């Protein structure tokens, strides 16, 4: 797959991985949310599937309220919301192959969406994963800015180590190093893949096939935070926002 930004020699972009919530919330450069198994890939899949209206919400209550008003919208979440709430699971496979791309998509999750919505001080908020690794890295090289990789598990369960592993790998990708094979091996050794699939029997295997492959989605979600929600656009086609 070709990308708009070819590999370049390693530059002097400041790149860090956040290990504390306070570090992420106070960051004023570029922030990159990495929620590998679902949220990052789900949002990428929504853009790849052609959704023109994708929004990330700060809480289930806000997303449910909007869903009740915008009855033609789709809600994506793994959070239990009761039998009266019609929603899709937070599933990349469902977002890509089993949903209507003409409808607005509202996304609220346990870790990814809180991570995004905590980054109001950041100059730019991106969402990345293995599936858009080269597109993401090329964009960062072409538009250098101090960059903080934000593993979404900080906001929910730090035992979800795949977010840290992927974040470190993507940081190296910006510098021109393909760290994907080593990162994939580390994730397999962690046992997290089997844990995830055991909890998601319907789409877990298909979601993992998306999440654990590199450069399958040439999109780059960028989020403009608007209070209690964020508007998602594809940074590869929307241009550089000043």
Q: What pLDDT is stored for residue 240 in this prediction?
A: 64
Lowest mean pLDDT among 3-7, 180-184, 191-195: 3-7
Q: What pLDDT is stored for residue 55 in this prediction?
A: 98
* CA torsion through residues 40, 42, 48, 52, sign: negative
**pLDDT value at 198 more than 50:** yes
Residue 240 lies in a domain: no
Residue 1 lies in a domain: no
**Greatest CA span in the chain, whole angstroms?**
53
**pLDDT value at 13 more than 60:** yes
Work out how many domains the chain is built from and give that number.
1
Structure tokens at 124: 């730019």
Work out the average pLDDT over 169-182: 97
- With CA atoms as reference, report the closest residue to 152 among 184, 112, 179, 212: 112
Residue 9 lies in a domain: no
Q: CB neighbours of 178 closer than 8 A, spacing ≥ 6?
A: none
Residue 5 lies in a domain: no
Give 20-45 pLDDT, tens digit per residue: 999 999 999 999 999 999 999 999 99
Give 93-112 pLDDT, tens digit per residue: 999 999 999 999 999 999 99
Q: Which pLDDT band holds residue 239 (cuts at 50, 70, 90)?
A: low
Q: What pLDDT is stored for residue 7 in this prediction?
A: 44
Residue 2 lies in a domain: no
Q: What pLDDT is stored for residue 201 in this prediction?
A: 85
**pLDDT value at 228 more than 70:** yes
Residue 238 lies in a domain: no
Give 109-134 pLDDT, tens digit per residue: 999 999 999 999 999 999 999 999 99
Measured distance CA(91)–CA(60) in Å, rounded: 17
Measured distance CA(188)–CA(217) in Å, rounded: 22
Question: What residue numbers bound the domain in which 134 lies?
Answer: 16-233
Q: What pLDDT is stored for residue 10 in this prediction?
A: 46
Measured distance CA(129)–CA(119) in Å, rounded: 18
Q: Which pLDDT band holds residue 3 (cuts at 50, 70, 90)?
A: very low
Residue 239 lies in a domain: no
Measured distance CA(152)–CA(112) in Å, rounded: 5
Structure tokens at 167: 């974040």
Residue 94 lies in a domain: yes
* CATH number of the domain to which 175 belongs: 3.90.1560.10
């Amino acid at each position: 797959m070709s990308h708009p930004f070819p590999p370049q020699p390693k530059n002097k972009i400041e790149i860090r991985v956040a290990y504390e919530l306070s570090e992420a919330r106070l960051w004023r450069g570029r922030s990159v949310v990495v929620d590998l198994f679902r949220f990052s890939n789900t949002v990428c899949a929504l853009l790849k599937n052609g959704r023109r209206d994708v929004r990330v919400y700060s809480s289930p209550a806000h997303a449910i309220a909007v869903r009740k008003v915008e009855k033609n919208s789709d809600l994506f979440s793994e959070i239990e919301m009761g039998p009266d709430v019609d929603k899709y699971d937070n599933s990349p496979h469902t977002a890509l192959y089993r949903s209507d791309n003409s409808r607005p998509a509202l996304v609220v999750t346990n870790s990814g969406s809180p991570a995004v919505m905590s980054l109001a001080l950041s100059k730019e908020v991106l969402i990345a994963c293995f599936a858009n690794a080269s597109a993401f890295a090329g964009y960062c090289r072409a538009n250098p800015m101090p960059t903080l990789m934000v593993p979404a598990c900080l906001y929910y369960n730090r035992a979800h180590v795949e977010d840290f592993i992927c974040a470190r790998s993507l940081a190296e990708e910006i510098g021109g190093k393909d760290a994907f094979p080593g990162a994939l091996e580390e994730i397999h050794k962690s046992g997290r893949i089997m844990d995830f699939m055991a909890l998601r029997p319907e789409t877990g295997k298909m979601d993992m096939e998306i999440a654990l492959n590199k450069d399958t989605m040439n999109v780059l979600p960028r989020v403009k935070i608007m209070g209690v929600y964020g508007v998602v656009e594809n940074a590869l086609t929307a241009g550089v926002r000043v």
